[in-house]
Amino acid sequence: MMKEALLIIDMSNDFIHDEGGLTSGKVGQEIVPNIITLANEFLEEGKEVIICMDAHEENDEHFAIWPVHNVIGTWGQELYGELKTWFEENKNHAQVTYVPKPEYDAFYNTNLEEILTSKNVDTVHLSGVCTDICDFLTAYGAYARGFHTVAQSSCMATFTEHHDVFLQQMKNIFKTEIR
């Protein structure tokens, strides 16, 4: 029997908190309750929830392009606000997994595909930030590996004006279902 998984992408202090290094700010903060509600629904229905978190070394080459963010072991890389509380309460749950990621695509140089395959997941739901960067490229990573993708639009945000454009691109290019 195949299953579904919710990916919670990059909901860190650096991407969400007002004082984060590369923050989406209020638009990111506003989706937190939606993500928690969806994550709880997934757990109640026996589905997987995977936290996919940007993880950079102090001198990472990303910092030539972007401000310093999500340095491993820092406050900035920690889950933001109520998501951190939710994770602390659920991290020992068999259906909750944490996957650090070095790149935009949560599948690139991680064990995410192996985790999903071992749990018989065939459908990946996307949530988190940023719609036009990590969410979009993770949708591609999932699509390229044969997973069906669902974008949970009320659980996604970005710091640009391209949220809707990239949701449509996911639909057109990766056959992503938009909810």
Cβ of 144: how many Cβ atoms within 10 Å? Answer: 12
Average pLDDT over residues 158-174: 95
**3-state class of 17 per DSSP?**
coil
Computed over every residue of the chain, the mean pLDDT equals 96
> Is residue 24 scored above 90 in pLDDT?
yes
Q: Is the pLDDT of residue 86 over 80?
A: yes
What are the C-alpha distances in Å from 163 to residues 84, 94, 114?
A: 25, 32, 29
Q: Can you give the pTM of this predicted structure?
A: 0.96
What confidence score (pLDDT) does residue 169 get?
Answer: 97
The residue that leads in pLDDT, 146 or 1, is 146
pLDDT of amino acid 85:
97
Residue 132, pLDDT score = 95
User: Which pLDDT belongs to residue 158?
Assistant: 95
For the cut 80, the answer to whether the pLDDT of residue 71 exceeds it is yes
DSSP state of 79: B
Q: Residue 2's pLDDT is what?
A: 74
In 6-94, which residue ranges form alpha helices assigned H by DSSP? 13-16, 26-30, 32-44, 81-90
* 152 contact partners, CB below 8 Å, separation of at least 6: 6, 34, 38, 125, 126, 127, 179
For 127-154, the pLDDT digits (tens) are 999 999 999 999 999 999 999 999 999 9
Predicted pLDDT at 105 = 98
Per the CATH hierarchy, to which homologous superfamily does domain 3-178 belong? Isochorismatase-like (3.40.50.850)
Indicate the domain borders of the chain.
Answer: 3-178
pLDDT for the residue 1: 60
CB of 44 closer than 8 Å to CB of 4 = no
Cis peptide before 134 (omega within 30 of 0): no
CB 179 within 8 A of CB 151: yes
The DSSP element (H or E) to which 4 belongs, if any, is strand 3-9
